[in-house]
Amino acid sequence: MFAGLTMIQLAFALAATLTAAFVRGLAGFGMAILLVPVLALAIPPREAVVVANWLGLLIGLVGLKKILGASEKSALQIGAVAVIATPVGVWLLAVTDPALARLAIALIAFGSFVLVLLPKRPAHHRPSMTETGATGLISGVLTGFAGMPGPPVVPYYLRRAIPAQLARASMMTIFLITSAAGIVAATLLGVATTREPLLAALLFPAVLLGNWLGSLAFGKIGDATWRSFTGGVLALSALAALWKLLQA
């Protein structure tokens, strides 16, 4: 037994973490969206959310200088609003009926995929402060509620005519900020325990390897291929959320 997990559970969690981290390295998002539901099969959902936030913080710190230098100013604006909203999400996680929580997460994931399918914004489009603030608000609530800040952030960047490198770095900057906010809020509100950092430490080597492999792949594909891949990841996430809802 390692941190309360059997060897089979730990192997399953490591494989899932490696895959999710590869997606993160290539797409710039998706680690928490893919990882939280899988971890929740082996540990309680609340712990899965906190572990995902710990992993997001640790891998974000590894590439901190690189992403901050390559991200858009809006990333810090969205991150700041998300920090304020994250405790609301943690509180919702603590009081919401699990069936209702699954429904909300599924609808949000599916809605984000639909937004990505919409036509791109015009090349001259610049998001308003209202759009930017709403993105940060929803991202923060989802960070605390489900450990998934990505659903509102991905369409915000993916629908705009900006370089893939800029979009990817901006999303990673936001997810670093929201991961830290999620850990702090969960700790202050009594949702986090001392077990999650240990689980994160066990899984982090798989995150490092998967993220490195994904980053290598990112440097070898074109912008159009990258956008297709990220849209596919969001689609699979939405389908997985809906499937889980139907199985409840």
Element (H, E) at 204: helix 195-218
Give every CB contact of residue 164 below 8 A, 6+ residues apart in sequence: 223, 226, 227
Among 31-35, 75-79, 113-117, 135-139, the minimum mean pLDDT is found in 113-117
At residue 56, what are phi and psi to the nearest 5 degrees?
-65, -40
Residue 7, judged by CB atoms within 10 A of its CB (0-12, 13-18, 19+), counts as: exposed
Domains of the chain by residue range: 7-247
CA–CA separation, 190 and 181 (whole Å): 14
Written as one letter, the residue type at 69 is: G
Q: Is the per-residue pLDDT at 105 higher than 80?
A: no
The pLDDT assigned to 121 comes to 76
**Can you tell me which residue has the tokens 């450990």?**
147
Question: How far is the C-alpha of 245 from the C-alpha of 81, rounded, in Å?
Answer: 29
Say which range, 71-75, 114-118, 210-214, has the weakest mean pLDDT.
114-118
Name the least confident of 16-30, 77-91, 94-108, 144-158.
94-108
Q: How far apart are CA 34 and CA 240, in angstroms?
A: 9
* 247 CB-contact burial (10 Å; exposed 0-12 / middle 13-18 / buried 19+): exposed
pLDDT in tens, 6-38: 788 778 788 888 888 988 888 787 788 778 777
pTM: 0.81
Tokens 């680690």, located at residue:
31
